[in-house]
């Protein structure tokens, strides 16, 4: 009886530790006001590039006569990790913290468009985990570009591109 009780306590501690660990790694869900939307989109783009490189390495290593399974597994894990990071940014950052419920009917169209684009990113990130088809990376890039425009608007994107050019030159 005592061992059963100790086991329950042990399991409760492990469960609590897992819950806290997840909470510690997510972007804060308190109203901290520290947001850098453009940086998050750039991070997504970088993750897509990493996924694509991983896919190409997996294909290359799979074709080799003398397979290096260690490297193959490492590239598969890398691809999965970066797809997960995209999904985390999309859900934990944009969907839960940055995309606000519309206050009026006029905002519903923009809200729906942004949610649909974010959902598409989640789907293509998932498909990237399932295959080594780089078309999923192409689709991710396309959807990220559309989200960029839908989220920031054309005028803001033009301003951001001008600022980026100035940083490169100066």
Question: Please, is 160 exposed, middle or buried when counting C-beta atoms within 10 Å of its C-beta (0-12, 13-18, 19+)?
Answer: middle
Q: What whole-number distance in Å separates Cα of residue 105 and Cα of residue 156?
A: 23
Residue 3 lies in a domain: no
Higher-confidence position of 32 and 90: 90
- Domain annotation covers residue 8: no
CATH number for the domain spanning 52: value is 1.20.120
Tokens read off for 123 = 């789907």
Residue 11 lies in a domain: no
Q: Is residue 26 part of a domain?
A: no
Q: Is residue 136 part of a domain?
A: yes
Query: Does any domain span residue 84?
Result: yes
3-state SS, residue 64 = coil
Q: What is the pLDDT of residue 25?
A: 44
17 CB neighbour count, 10 Å cutoff:
10
> Which domain range does residue 73 map to?
32-169
**Residues 6 or more apart whose Cβ sits within 8 Å of residue 51:** 79, 82, 83, 86, 128, 137, 140
d(CA 164, CA 122): 27
Band of the pLDDT at 24, cuts 50, 70, 90? very low
Give the range with max mean pLDDT: 25-29, 144-148, 162-166.
144-148
Q: Is the pTM of this model over 0.85?
A: no
Instruction: Provide the token pair at 21.
Output: 């660990």
On the 0-12 / 13-18 / 19+ scale of CB atoms within 10 A, 121 is: buried
């Amino acid at each position: 009886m005592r061992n059963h009780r100790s086991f329950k306590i042990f399991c409760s501690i492990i469960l609590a530790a897992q819950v806290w660990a997840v909470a510690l790694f997510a972007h804060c869900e308190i109203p901290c006001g520290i947001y850098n939307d453009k940086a998050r989109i750039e991070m997504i783009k970088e993750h897509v590039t990493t996924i694509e490189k991983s896919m190409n390495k997996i294909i290359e290593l799979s074709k080799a006569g003398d397979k290096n399974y260690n490297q193959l597994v490492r590239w598969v894990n890398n691809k999965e990790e970066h797809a997960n990071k995209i999904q985390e940014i999309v859900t934990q950052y944009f969907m839960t913290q940055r995309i606000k419920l519309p206050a009026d009917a006029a905002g519903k169209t923009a809200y729906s468009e942004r949610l649909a684009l974010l959902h598409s990113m989640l789907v293509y990130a998932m498909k990237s985990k399932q295959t080594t088809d780089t078309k999923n990376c192409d689709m991710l890039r396309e959807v990220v570009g559309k989200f960029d425009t839908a989220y920031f608007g054309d005028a803001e994107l033009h301003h951001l591109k001008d600022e980026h050019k100035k940083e490169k030159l100066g």
